[in-house]
Amino acid sequence: MTTLNDEPARSPQPPPVADWGEKLQTFVRTSTVFVLLAAMIIGFSIAQPAFIQVANQMSILQAVSVVAILGAGVTITLAVGGFDLSIGAVAASSVMAASYAMVVWGLDVALTVPLVLAFGALAGLANAFLVVRLKVPDLLATLSVMFLLTGLQLIPTAGRSISAGLILPDGSTASGAYDPAFLLIGRSTLFGVVPVSVVIMLLVAVVLYVLTEHTRIGRLLFATGGNEVAARLAGASVARLKTLAYVLSGTLASLGGIIIAARVGRGDVSSGASLLMDSVAAALIGFAVLGLRRPNVFGAIIGAVFVGILLNGLTMLNTPYYTQDFVKGVVLVGALALTYGLGRRNR
């Protein structure tokens, strides 16, 4: 029996119709880089079966390991709202410093590696001093340090590359040589398959991913980059966080230089020619990975691998070298346009 206060039972409403167009856009935005990566791997494997072989894949990872490490360093500075243009010069100077320490000074690997890492940290500290204490804009500060290091690395050897038997500016001959244990860093493999440099890259990626994504320091780094004033009012030491970012960037650049020196076995004055642009490209591609649209270490590693696979595949297909940068640019512009274009439309 019903009363006047009783309301008629409401029939359940059907769930709203899913907006499949919006879902598709979200999927494309978050997965563009991975879809293109898979498409490249499949396409290059069909066109050149040797591409998919384990040896070639390990070669790609070894080739991009340094760029990935440097890209992670750039990512840390981007997280605090900065930018490190000196990272390529620090890596190149580290190549020369490691070579000079062993060939000219006769140091072994146990002394050379900490010395070169300290050099990178010092370069990062110089960047931080200019940016944090002297309030020089980060682009200008790191650009000046880049020019400083680019010139400084040439002075001790009068512009010559460093190898055993180097003739020094005073006419004497260097008596040292590369420590064989040092060369293992760039030339040895783990279990005969995975290059040591790839293992180092993965360790760096894991440590920095945990630091930036799952610790209080990481949250403060991003808070500083997002709103420096708010981060300061919340009690964060903005100066220390920025200093930490630049010191980490410089140290990672030196680590990349150590790997290059160990792989090449000489201090080549042109060893850092493309490191800056490649590492910055990896860091910026990272913005598009998973549609995060912010600096992230995982994305920087994927960005480095993306570029490495593209260039390796083009090389195996005998694509003229003068067209490779154009093809790389087309693919990267397409990936970023889809990521950001669709993201803007969905707002």
Q: How many distinct structural domains can be found in the chain?
A: 1
Residue 67: CATH number of its domain: 1.10.3470.10
pLDDT tens by residue, 236-283: 899 999 999 999 999 999 999 999 999 999 888 887 778 898 898 889
Q: pLDDT value at position 18? A: 47
Q: What is the largest CA-CA distance in the chain?
A: 113
Q: pLDDT value at position 9? A: 53
Residue 189 belongs to some domain of the structure: yes
Q: pLDDT value at position 233? A: 84
Name the amino acid, one letter, at 29. R
How many C-beta atoms surround the C-beta of residue 164 within 10 A?
A: 15
Residue 330 belongs to some domain of the structure: yes
Q: pLDDT value at position 60? A: 93
Q: pLDDT value at position 268? A: 85
Q: pLDDT value at position 24? A: 67
Residue 25 belongs to some domain of the structure: no
Residue 22 belongs to some domain of the structure: no
**Closest by CA position to 303, among listed 12, 21, 36:** 36
**Which residues of the chain have a pLDDT value below 70?**
1-19, 21, 24-29, 335, 338-347
Residue 8 belongs to some domain of the structure: no
Q: pLDDT value at position 66? A: 95
* Domain with 63 in it: 46-164+174-337
Give the angle 105-248-107 at the CA atoms, nearest 5°: 10
Q: Helix 196-214 to helix 54-79 angle, to the nearest 10 degrees?
A: 30
Residue 309 belongs to some domain of the structure: yes
Residue 271 to residue 39: CA distance in whole angstroms: 32
Q: pLDDT value at position 29? A: 67
172, with CB counted inside 10 A (0-12, 13-18, 19+), is exposed
Residue 188 belongs to some domain of the structure: yes
Residue 185 belongs to some domain of the structure: yes
Q: pLDDT value at position 21? A: 66
